[in-house]
Structure 1
Amino acid sequence: MAGIDPPFSVSPEEFVRLAKEDEEVRKGYEAMIEAIVKDVFALLPPSVTPDSIYLSGRFSRIPEFFRDVKEALENAFETYGFSVDVLKLESRARAKEAAEGSAIIANGIAGGKYRELVETLRLGGESSGSIFDWVKLKERERLRIFEKLIV
Structure 2
Amino acid sequence: MVRVIGIDPGTKSFDFCGLEDDKIILDTSVSTKDIMRDPDLISNIIMDSNIDLAVGPSGFGIPVKRIEDIGEKDMFLMSLIRKCDKKSVLGMRNSIARMKEHRLPVFFIPGVIHLQTVPDYRKFNKIDMGTADKLCCTALGIRDQAKRHRKNYDRTSFIMLEMGYGYTAAIAVYNGKIVDGIGGSSGNIGFLSMGCMDAELAYLLDGFDKELIFKGGVATLARDPEELVNNETAKNAYIEGAVKNILSLTASVKPEEILVSGRISKVSGVLQELKKRLDMAPVRKVDGFHTKNVKEAAEGAALIANGLAGGKYEPLIDVMELKKARGTSLDHILLPEIAAIKKEYLQ
Which of 56, 78, 85 aligns to 2:282? It is: 85
| Identity across matched positions, percent | 32
User: What's the counterpart of residue 72 of structure 1?
Assistant: 277
The answer for unaligned runs of 5 or more in structure 2 is 1-216
Change (3 A) 1:115 1:51: farther
> By how many angstroms is 1:71 displaced?
2.4
User: What's the counterpart of residue 129 of structure 1?
Assistant: 327
Taking the TM superposition and a 5 Å limit, the aligned residue runs for 1:112-151 are 112-125=311-324, 127-133=325-331, 141-142=341-342
What is the letter of the counterpart of residue 31 of structure 1? Answer: A
Runs of 4+ in 1 over 4 A off after TM superposition: 41-45, 134-147
Taking the TM superposition and a 5 Å limit, the aligned residue runs for 1:1-150 are 7=220, 10-19=223-232, 25=233, 28-43=234-249, 46=252, 48-73=253-278, 75=279, 77=280, 84-90=281-287, 92-93=290-291, 94-125=293-324, 127-133=325-331, 141-142=341-342
Distance 1:13 1:32 in 2: 13
> By how many angstroms is 1:68 displaced?
0.6
Say how many residue pairs are matched. Answer: 127
Distance 2:298 2:246 in 1: 21
User: What's the counterpart of residue 80 of structure 1?
Assistant: none
What is the letter of the counterpart of residue 69 of structure 1? Answer: L
- By relative contact order (CA 8 Å, sep 6+), the higher-ranking structure is 2
Task: Considering fraction of residues, name the structure with more strand.
Answer: 2
Contact 2:256 2:282 in 1 (8 A): yes
What is the letter of the counterpart of residue 124 of structure 1? Answer: K
What is the letter of the counterpart of residue 273 of structure 2? Answer: D
User: SS where residue 63 of structure 1 aligns?
Assistant: coil
Distance 2:294 2:270 in 1: 21
Task: Give me the TM-score of the superposition, normalised by structure 1.
Answer: 0.60
User: What's the counterpart of residue 22 of structure 1?
Assistant: none
Contact 2:264 2:270 in 1 (8 A): yes
User: SS where residue 259 of structure 2 aligns?
Assistant: strand
> By how many angstroms is 1:62 displaced?
1.4
Q: Which moved more, 1:49-58 or 1:36-45?
A: 36-45
Distance 2:346 2:245 in 1: 28
Contact 2:307 2:314 in 1 (8 A): yes
Distance 2:227 2:286 in 1: 22
Q: Which moved more, 1:112-121 or 1:55-64?
A: 112-121
The answer for unaligned runs of 5 or more in structure 1 is 20-24, 78-83
Change (3 A) 1:114 1:53: farther
Change (3 A) 1:67 1:6: closer
> By how many angstroms is 1:16 displaced?
1.7
What is the letter of the counterpart of residue 327 of structure 2? Answer: G
What is the letter of the counterpart of residue 62 of structure 1? Answer: V
Distance 1:56 1:5 in 2: 18
Distance 2:306 2:319 in 1: 14
User: What's the counterpart of residue 173 of structure 2?
Assistant: none
Task: Considering fraction of residues, name the structure with more helix.
Answer: 1
Deviations along 1:77-108, one digit per CA (max 9) or x if unpaired, are 1xxxxxx2211124533223322222222323
Change (3 A) 1:16 1:41: same
Contact 1:108 1:114 in 2 (8 A): yes
CA-based RMSD of the aligned residues comes to 3.5
Distance 1:9 1:64 in 2: 15
